[in-house]
């Protein structure tokens, strides 16, 4: 269905307002001009974004920041990023982070809850929609996950 992208990102942040407040994490939404209605599978993309924002909160210390942003890298695509100022991911783990059940350092995630499935599910959904998911992380500085999807303007035409 056609979706309003800024609204969609605001609503993700709203769904996590309790967790955000509990950790005093501020969430910002930044959307490039000209991104309004885009055809996307709302339920599935929400599931992806919820997984990413849940990670961003889980792996960010109290008082950190999260940014949800969207831009058009080219006329046929939309890129949505979830960026945090969290603990980051060691370089040696980056290649396995999308594997099922893979979690960095059991010690740090033991008390966090979860199974290590979030990112693998997110990647499956994104791939099923013809998109890609990329992760960029700096240990102790933060992580950015970017989902790139084919975007149809609400008229139905490409770009």
Does 73 participate in binding ligand ATP (rule CB under 6 A)? no
- Pairwise CA distance, residues 61 & 112, whole Å: 12
Region of 2-10, 68-76, 113-121, 126-134 interacting with ligand ATP (CB under 6 A): 113-121
Question: Under rule CB under 5 A, which residues in 44-103 are in contact with Mg ion?
Answer: 55
Closer Cβ to ligand ATP, 143 or 146, answer by number: 143
Q: Name which of Mg ion, ligand ATP, none residue 59 binds, using a CB cut-off of 5 to 8 Å depending on partner kind.
A: ligand ATP
Closer Cβ to ligand ATP, 137 or 151, answer by number: 137
Question: Under rule CB under 6 A, which residues in 19-58 are in contact with ligand ATP?
Answer: 51, 55-56, 58
The pairs formed by 94-97 with CB atoms below 8 angstroms and a separation of 24 or more are 94/135, 94/137, 97/135
* Count of positions on this chain that bind ligand ATP (CB under 6 A): 23
- 8 Å CB contact between 148 and 70: no
Structure tokens at 117: 């499935």
Closer Cβ to Mg ion, 55 or 148, answer by number: 55
Q: Name which of ligand ATP, Mg ion, none residue 131 binds, using a CB cut-off of 5 to 8 Å depending on partner kind.
A: none
Closer Cβ to ligand ATP, 63 or 114, answer by number: 114
Please spell the DSSP secondary structure of 53-104, one letter per residue: HHHHHHTS-TT-EEEEEEE-SSTTEEEEEEEE-S----GGGGGGTTSTT--S
End-to-end Cα separation, the chain, in angstroms: 16
Does 118 participate in binding Mg ion (rule CB under 5 A)? yes
Does 118 participate in binding ligand ATP (rule CB under 6 A)? yes
Residues β-bridged to residue 149: 78
Q: Are strands 152-153 and 65-71 parallel, antiparallel or unpaired?
A: unpaired
Enumerate binding residues for ligand ATP (CB under 6 A): 51, 55-56, 58-59, 84, 86-89, 97, 102-104, 109, 114-120, 143
């Amino acid at each position: 269905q056609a979706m309003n992208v800024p609204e969609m990102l605001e609503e993700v942040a709203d769904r996590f307002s309790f967790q955000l407040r509990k950790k005093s994490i501020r969430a910002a939404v930044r959307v490039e001009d000209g991104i309004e209605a885009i055809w996307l599978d709302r339920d599935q993309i929400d599931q992806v974004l919820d997984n990413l924002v849940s990670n961003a909160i889980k792996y960010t210390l109290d008082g950190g920041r999260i940014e949800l942003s969207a831009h058009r890298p080219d006329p046929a695509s939309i890129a949505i990023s979830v960026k945090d100022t969290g603990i980051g991911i060691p370089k040696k783990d980056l290649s396995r982070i999308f594997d099922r059940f893979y979690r960095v350092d059991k010690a740090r995630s033991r008390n966090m809850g979860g199974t290590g499935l979030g990112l693998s599910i997110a990647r499956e959904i994104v791939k099923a929609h013809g998109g890609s998911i990329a992760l960029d992380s700096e240990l102790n500085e933060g992580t950015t996950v970017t989902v790139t999807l084919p975007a149809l303007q609400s008229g139905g035409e490409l770009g």
